[in-house]
Chain A
Amino acid sequence: MRYLLRRMLHAVFLLFGVSILTFLFSTLAPGNYFDEMRLNPQIAPETVASLRAQYQLDRPLPVRYARWVNSVAHGQMGFSFAYNSPVGPLLWVRARNTLLLTLTATLLAWALALPLGIWSAASLGRLPDRALSWTTATLLVIPDLVLALGLLIMAVRSGWFPTGGMVSVGFESLSPLNKLRDIAIHMTLPVVALVISALPMLVRHVRAALAEVLDAPFLRAAAGHGIPRRRLLHRYALRAAANPLISLLGFSLGTLVSGSLLVEVVMSWPGLGPLLLEAILARDLYVVIGGVLLSTIFLVGGNFLADLLLLWADPRIRTEAGAE
């Protein structure tokens, strides 16, 4: 328990550190939202100055940071200049959409990567392994952007899938089941793009982790006891190879928020991607900070989850943690 508590404390410190740094960097960056306004001859300089005062951009940095922390505590996370609303709810809606997309894609990618990686490792150096290695290598060199655009073109040509958005026109009038179907159809293309871009790396990691274990003496010993090969692979080897894979899972959970930005923008999925892109271009300060903070939370959360899983999966870590 003390181990977990310490990990948690560690995470909180990390979050504070990151928030201070992003705050610092984003204010140090040249220009802000109101600089653009100032160039607009239709807006009086006094108006800009009063807006600046209203959003307290003219106050010293520590004061602004304190106010921002206060607003985070109230779930607002500062104020968006462009949307003229608190950042919290704005981010939340978009994050939900992003998570729907990325969680599905991650689960799917892992579900495919595990059996493929096991298969590849089990036939190490033979035909299935070589074929898989070639395929994953080819997929790895295709840039995500090209992949997403290619899928988009195919969708347009064939007309099988909608090419943008999350729901059809008239979504509100559909029955619950049809609503689900509608979202699923809209999700297909971005999910496929994400899975294809994540899969090669995962397959290779699973293969490498297993291949390393397959040489282990305890596997040879188990084979010497006549334990069937399938059982060796699925129960003995996978279990022993779990540690690096769990860490990788933690990491892939951590990149859920930021991992799909490109695909979202290209396929106009109403997630965080388009929102953050606009915010950065418009120097909508608090939205950007909120986005960074959100992905940090996910990274920390993912790693924490991985630690928990490791604790559960590996008795040696359990002993160590208990001894602390």
Chain B
Amino acid sequence: MTPLLQVQDLHVAYRSRTGEVCHALAGLSFDLGPSEILGVLGESGSGKSTLAASLLRLLPPSGIITGGRILFEGQDVLHARPREMEKLRGRRISLIFQEPSVALHPAMRVRDQVEEVLRAHEPLDFAARRNRTRQVLASLFPADADRIANSYPHQLSGGQRQRVLVAQAIACGPSVVLADEPTASLDPTTQQEILTLFRTLRQALGLSMVLITHNPGLLAGLADRVLVLYAGRAVEVGPAESVLASPQHPYTRALLRCVPPLDQKSQASRKAMLPVISGESPNLSVLVRGCPFEPRCPEKMEVCKSCDPAAVPLSEAHTVSCFKFPG
């Protein structure tokens, strides 16, 4: 399986006005196969939003890609000219934004907003564009596509808005969709609905997806592989079932233990203290040697302080960056 998208040793830093440098991504590598869903699991400060923005080179002016390579279908994304990037965004790689309530223009009709995406990429005349828009919207809103098309964002529910964002993202038939916390602001049932939609889209259109989230529960049953991001590094990558069910990296283990399970039977575990990760989230402004999780790690060793752990393969697809595992 040749990867569709390859990220190699990506480094991204933000420089604040005071000159402080924040290393949001520090040597991230992964790849994404055709019609594969990769779940990126990370907490705030792990660099997950930076990841989405740098894949499309949409970083704010303060963010600089300081090293590494991003290859999309063999094309070097980091060296593409601005015009080429505009062609890539929305057409080959599209992005589903975090907050559906603010990611749509408040004063434009849904139809126009979907049409604008087509207009930017496809040489269609007005009627053809309108027609395509109707088709795309009809595929997402089988019941009332016309009503939705005529609506303004504020007249829609959160789930409907999220579907409009999906419509924009798939309008030009991209091969990769990046979704950055696509369901964070939705109700659980709506959330499930959108996740089901993602599953359907992958099957129907053969889409590849990078699903970025802080909620491990979203990835179960949806992602093929999971990448756990900590301090801008991939600490664990592997098949979703094995990473979520039997995590190996101390951070992944600690993170997954924080979530209270739903099916606890015993009264004793209810209202009991949850296991937490001690210490503070990493300070990214100093580039430290060694494992970034070392200060909080319950199983730290001498070597963790001084050397960067390399990715150790546990099985064919499962790798962990930790010295606990003999390389």
- Mark A residues whose CB is within 8 Å of B: 216-218, 220-229, 231, 235-236, 239-240, 242, 313-316, 319
Contacts and interface: CB of A to CB of B under 8 A. Distances in A.
B293 interface: no
Contacts of B116: 222, 225, 227, 231, 235
A302 B137 CA distance: 40
Contacts of B104: 218, 221
Interface string B100-129: 001111111100000011001100000000
B105 A223 contact: no
Contact of A315 (B94, B95, B107): B107
Given A224-B56, A226-B88, A319 B155 contact: yes
A226 B97 contact: no
Q: Which of A221, A235, A319 has the most CB of B within 10 A?
A: A221
A316 B107 contact: yes
Contacts of B106: 218, 240, 314-316
Nearest to A124: B61
A239 B108 contact: yes
Given A217-B97, A231-B120, A224 B107 contact: no
Contacts of A226: 85-91, 94, 117, 120-121
Given A224-B56, A227-B90, A218 B120 contact: no
Given A225-B94, A227-B90, A218 B117 contact: no
In order of increasing CB-CB distance, the 9 nearest A-B pairs are A226-B90, A226-B89, A225-B90, A224-B95, A221-B103, A315-B152, A217-B102, A221-B97, A225-B117
B168 interface: yes
B149 to A, nearest CB: 14
Interface residues of B toward A: which range? 20 to 34
A236 B105 CA distance: 7
Contact of B94 (A224, A228, A314, A316): A224
Given A227-B117, A235-B116, A222 B105 contact: yes
A319 B120 contact: no
Contacts of A218: 102-106
A319 B154 contact: yes
B107 A221 contact: no
Interface in B140-186: 152, 154-155, 165, 168-169
B58 interface: yes
21 contacts: A217-B98, A218-B105, A218-B106, A220-B58, A224-B56, A225-B89, A225-B90, A225-B94, A225-B117, A225-B168, A226-B85, A226-B87, A227-B86, A227-B90, A231-B120, A236-B108, A240-B107, A313-B107, A315-B107, A315-B109, A315-B154
A233 B98 CA distance: 22
